[in-house]
Chains A and B, each alone.
Chain A
Amino acid sequence: MTRAIQILLLAAMLGLLLRLLARGEYLYYVKPGFLPALIAAAVVLALMLLFVVKDAWSATAVEAHDGHEHDGHDHGGHDHAEPLAALLLALPLIVVLTVAPSPLGAYSATRGTGGAQTVERSFAPLPAGDPVELAVPEFVERAQSDDGSTVAGREVRLVGFVTPNPDGPWWLTRFVVSCCAADATAYRVVARGGPPLEADTWVALTGHWVRSAGAPDGIPTLQVVEYELAQPPSNPYAG
């Protein structure tokens, strides 16, 4: 593996991190708490790049002085046997440049390991004053716990995106991520009486919980009273 390719690959990884950090797009992939780790990784990569460039520079200077032909090999006395698979380190940057970065959306919400299977928990009563701002996952868990008594009769406001449902009203959806987007779990709420909206539209719904006896999949229903379109949040995931 030549120095030139090493430099290109390190630069590709560094470029990937810098781009995702500069635009805040890293939040599509990992949790906000991961920021310091990503910055530290970028700093180490930058130092690695610096040293490889410096070595290449001094190696070229030595060659020019000795009048040797550059044969593309390392002159520091090291064997370089990186497998060609190392070239794939350029791929993440290529993907970012080809496919515009986006958070997980409606396509993933109904696939993979399916919806959230929550455990019943005990919740404190909601604070006074309707409507109460709630995260979609918390609303789902409250509706499933204690017979929904903490949300019954209350008006709530939920923010999420639209996931089309072929068999009924669309689902208001939010993903919960515990480490990275590969482990995301979708939380869904049936938006009864909601306006017709495109998939992946972000929307804030105000409404109240509907006790639905026969919801086999555990997805609670919200009777929509009011809606307004919402900006996609900078952190698309909850939890």
Chain B
Amino acid sequence: MHRAPHAETGRRLPFGSVLPLVLLAAALAVVLVTRLTGWSATPGVAAFATVFLSIVVQATPFLVLGVLLSAAIVAFVPADLAERALPRNRALAVPVAGTAGILLPGCECASVPVASGLMRKGVTPAAALTFLLAAPAVNPIVLAATWVAFPDDHRMALARLLASLGAAMVVGWLWVAFGRTSWIRLPTRASTAEGTRWLTFRHGVVHDFLHAGGYLVVGGLISAVINVVLPASWVDSLAEQAIAGVLVLALLAVVMCICSEADAFVAASFTQFSPTAQLAFMVVGPMVDLKLVAMQAGIFGRGFAARFAPVTFVCAIVASVIVGWAIL
């Protein structure tokens, strides 16, 4: 057996191992009970199922694309390519990585596995994390969608580009200054040294898909519960206040887990909120949402996600407020 040096990450805290089992047992019990009693779903349960499945179904193709890219980076990209492509200075590598995010035309579900592939390839975590945050928000598809969603104010697309890049880079620099590599616990898997590259690629795809997919389901579950349980009017009642409005839409972005390619249309529908609040919705969403944090916890470790998500959330809000104040 070739054990990777950090193989102990496979071991989890007791409650962490039990929780998914309990959830699964509960789900199986529900199937049995519903079949035996001839129960049919109430409207609330049906709505929950539709929202949950729509998040999973919508994210699956992007997740598949992400794990294919990630496995391809690990298996086929020469080991020294990242070193040659990125500046040696870590602080300089951050803006380069953020700008490179323009090249990945996908949403946030693809970027988490890709960032872990980059880290395995030796890309400095600060640069990989900046890429992770920037790519889903600043790629051409998302910016075009934002352009279309705000037909009367094309400054919104520019504001989104600037605020997202700014927040991603600040988080990257914070990582350079304060981050510790020990917080990141990449899942163990085959090293590239053994087997053929093709074998490495195949194992990587399966491994990453199972790994990130399970956490995607966790995020979808939480989001769907909140979506269905949320009182109908709490959002509208807070729309009037400037600061509360920004916070409400930022929190809503975390909870709703909308794909970054679609969130501009949803943001545009919040006409009762200020443009800055709408901007915060679009900057926070692709960086911090429930399914994304769950996937980050799964791929980079819980300790990492517990530090990374709150810092990113604050940076995204601050960047939105500054850019919104200056441009919108």
Contacts and interface: CB of A to CB of B under 8 A. Distances in A.
A93 to B, nearest CB: 10
Contacts of A77: 1-2, 190, 194-195
Contact of A182 (B20, B23, B257): B257
A115 B123 CA distance: 46
Contact of A94 (B31, B58, B270): B31
B227 A82 contact: no
A103 B20 contact: no
Given A112-B227, A114-B235, A182-B256, 12 more contacts: A28-B54, A38-B57, A41-B64, A91-B24, A100-B46, A102-B41, A102-B46, A111-B230, A179-B262, A180-B57, A182-B258, A183-B262
Contacts of B257: 182
A158 B221 CA distance: 34
A30 B57 contact: yes
Contact of A107 (B43, B60, B205): B43
Interface of A: 1, 6, 9-10, 13, 16-17, 20, 26, 28-30, 34, 37-38, 40-41, 44-45, 48, 51-52, 76-92, 94-108, 110-114, 116-119, 178-183, 185, 199-200
A88 B218 contact: yes
A9 B325 CA distance: 48
B262 A79 contact: no
B41 A85 contact: no
B93 interface: no
B21 interface: yes
Contacts of A102: 41, 46, 49-50
B158 to A, nearest CB: 20
B228 A113 contact: no
Contacts of A182: 51, 54-55, 58, 223-224, 227, 256-258
A20 B61 CA distance: 14
Given A10-B206, A76-B203, A183-B262, A107 B21 contact: no
B165 to A, nearest CB: 23
A83 B214 contact: yes
Contact of A80 (B207, B218, B265): B207
Contacts of A34: 58, 61
Nearest to B40: A100
Contacts of A119: 151-152, 268, 271
A23 B40 CA distance: 20
A81 B263 contact: no
A29 B211 contact: no
B28 interface: yes
